[in-house]
Structure 1
Amino acid sequence: MFLYKIEIELEEQTAHLIILADTDEKAFSVVESHVARHFVKMPVVKSAAIVEKKRPENGAGYFVV
């Protein structure tokens, strides 16, 4: 398992998704479903990229501004 910070470029903004997944592929496979849950109207996802990848351990996390 890994803790991923994924940067998602939408048409009008940039968002960050922090997700726990077994592989890079599994992390990317849930990006659109999380975006759809957050917005009333589904925005166009231009790109998604892994910015950081860490092993989960006590105290692991990301600071998102």
Structure 2
Amino acid sequence: MFLYKIEIELEDQMAHLILLADTDEKAFSVVESHVARHFIKMPVVKSAAIIEKKRPELGAGYFIV
């Protein structure tokens, strides 16, 4: 398992998603479902990229500004 920080480029803004997944492929496979849960109307996802990937351990996390 890995903790992923994924940067998502939408039509008019950038977003970040932090999630736990077994592989890169599984992480990317759930990006759109997380975006859909956050917005009332599904925005167009232009791109998604893994910015950071680390093994989960006590105290692991990401600081987002």
Percentage of identical aligned residues: 89
Distance 1:25 1:19 in 2: 13
Q: Which residue of 2 aligns with 1:17?
A: 17
SS class of match (2:3): strand
Q: Which runs of 5+ in 2 are unaligned?
A: none
Displacement of 1:53: 0.1
Counterpart residue identity of residue 23, structure 1: T
The letter of the residue matching 1:12 is D
Aligned to 2:36: 36
TM-score by length of 2: 0.99
Amino acid at match of 2:50: I
What is the RMSD of the two structures over their aligned residues, measured on CA atoms?
A: 0.2
**2-side partners of 1:63 and 1:39: how far apart?**
23
TM-superposed deviation, 1:6: 0.1
1:12-49 superposed Cα distances (whole Å, 9 cap, x missing partner): 00000000000000000000000000000000000000
Q: Which TM-score applies when normalising by structure 1? A: 0.99
* Structure-2 residue corresponding to 1:27: 27
Which letter does structure 2 place at the counterpart of 1:60?
A
